[in-house]
Structure 1
């Protein structure tokens, strides 16, 4: 943490809004880029695609937002994670904040989970926020390095860099995560101007594409597929000619999917036959899949992810 008074922030506080309210939506709407959106622009978000975000910014139809249980519990546990961090950093307090925008680049916005302030019990410490704090939850440790490192999933690194750059709060940011409900870890993320410039450039190019009506190409993500489905309204009883290459590629993908599904079904049946009344299938000590049971009979066979199977 810095020992001297921080310079004036480059960000301006727009307000403190409750997520999901009209005021919160308005602060994130239009031709601006928030910290949770920048990863989608550079193709690194697990939740949004560049295609889906483009349609949102262009005020075109997008799939309805559906809060997942993971999102709900992430919100519910935010205070607990921040309190845990404060218990180990007694000279500082992670305080709730609101939505900020850069004072010059007003399209650049961010809503950090907390801003770290000096604890008022230490009168020698300068007042004002000194760093950004983020609280996260995760089901597994995929992408998370050891506590004390800076190894966090890349989309969170993009988010934190964007927050630091928006507020002009360049001190190392602090991120704490609760993995699987009991594995608590802390990380420190340095600000890198070169990374921030790359994100800024990508955001400006993206916003220009929205203004110019230049839609991104369709990618293979689920959210892009749902965005395409949300576009047309109604149905006309007409035939629409499509390129022969696209038609062949679609039919080939359908056939390959059918073949893959059949192969998976057969392999799963053979694995279950081998397991019998057991729980896990292993090969030379490596976990392959596990069997779930309902009402005394097999319900499903679920593969272990490679990292979890070790």
Structure 2
């Protein structure tokens, strides 16, 4: 076994950390992250843009998450008699790999010679987490955990403890899959090759990519550039369409909220359509069930 615990951890955001393949980067490398695109991560690792600074509200989320880890670890221990869990995170690296790598584990669970990964996540509710009620872990989080299992060599089923702001904690199990781990490793090697060759991923339509493109060229030099006519046409058409769609969606959200009143969830028969969640102060957020198929509504209502 070539993995070892790291005592001098690279600080997140540091030049050393940016060049390493860490568990948090795996979803973006695979193109399945809900938060950061391949394009954005590539340019950060290439040194073309600085990582986005952590906002005050985001830092508050991190602080809350660290505080929750203590309670979540204790909850996990009660549910797993005979196991002990580390107090605080630990980091491992695999020296057999030809590139810098790290797997930071929220909790290292031990029982004799057995080791198990325990990750802790927070969310306002299951809808925000990504669980549609099926009990399936979101793909980006599952990929992170499989990377951690690969780097540590701990192939016991890992656990994710979800600590929602509303409702009871929930524990998910992630089985190690050697084939998926091998595919992830192959994609990481392709990723490193693209960085070495200076070939970035294709543009996509995510917010993350849009914000990165804006930050790549912050200067304005007064030049004029010719656009492809098709691109210009599509852009102006989309701008006009967006105004109409935004207006229509706002009206539909108002109607849904009006029907819901004080209710938490809106359904058609047993299909969840939307959820009301408390925001800051007296505000209320309406979250749609993006996994619901409109065609299913027609079948249920028939």
TM-score bracket, normalised by the shorter chain, equals 0.7 to 0.9
Could you say which residue in structure 1 is the equivalent of 2:85? 94
TM-superposition CA deviations, 1:66-96 (whole Å, max 9, x none): 2524433222211210111112223111113
Q: CA deviation at 1:43?
A: 1.2
Summarize the Cα distance change of 1:279–1:198 in structure 2 as closer, same or farther, 3 Å threshold: same
1:245 aligns with 2:230: yes
Whole-Å separation in 1 of the counterparts to 2:172 and 2:256 = 41
Out of 2, 20, 23, the residue aligned to residue 10 of structure 1 is 2
Q: Deviations over 1:269-309 (max 9, x none)?
A: 6678x76xx556978788768699xxxxxx97854423899
| Alpha-carbon distance in 2 for matches of 1:92, 1:288 | 39
Distance in 2 (alpha carbons) for counterparts of 1:156 and 1:232:
32
Q: Distance in 2 between matches of 1:291 and 1:89?
A: 32
Change in 2 beyond 3 A, CA 1:13/1:27: farther
| Alignment match, 2:288 | 305
RMSD over aligned Cα atoms: 3.5
- Describe the shift of the 1:205–1:287 C-alpha distance in structure 2 as closer, same or farther (beyond 3 A): closer
Q: 1:19 to 1:252 in 2, by over 3 A?
A: same
Counterpart check, 1:25 vs 2:18? no
* Structure 2 residue 253 is matched with structure 1 residue 261: no
**1:78 correspondence with 2:69:** yes
**TM norm structure 1:** 0.78
Against the structure 1 CA distance between its residues 71 and 253, is the aligned structure 2 distance closer, same or farther, given a 3 Å change threshold?
farther
TM score, norm. by length of structure 2:
0.80
TM-superposed deviation, 1:218: 1.1
Distance 1:26 1:91, change over 3 A: farther
1:144 pairs with 2:131: yes
Structure 1 residues 278-289: aligned runs within 5 Å: 279=262
Which residue of structure 1 lines up, in the alignment, with residue 100 of structure 2?
A: 107
Structure 1: state its 5+ residue gaps.
Answer: 1-8, 119-124, 293-298
- How far apart, in 2, do the equivalents of 1:283 and 1:171 lie? 38
Deviation readout 1:94-137 (Å, 9 max, x if unpaired): 1134332212114332111121123xxxxxx34xx611111111
Match of 2:139?
A: 154
SS in 2 for 1:116: strand
Q: If each structure's helix is expressed as a fraction of its own residues, which one has the higher value? A: 2
Assess, with a 3 A threshold, how the Cα gap between structure 1 residues 180 and 102 changes in structure 2: closer, same or farther.
Answer: same
- Distance in structure 1 (CA, Å) of the matches to 2:152 and 2:277: 49
Name the structure 2 match of 1:166.
151
Match of 1:3 in 2: none
The 3 A distance-change label for structure 1 pair 287 and 160 is: closer
Greater Rg over alpha carbons, structure: 1
For the residues of structure 2 that align with 1:284 and 1:135, how far apart are their CA atoms?
33
* 1:235 matched to 2:220: yes
Q: What's the CA shift for 1:219?
A: 0.9
Return the alpha-carbon distance in structure 2 between the equivalents of residues 205 and 102 of structure 1: 18
Gaps of 5+ in 2: 298-302
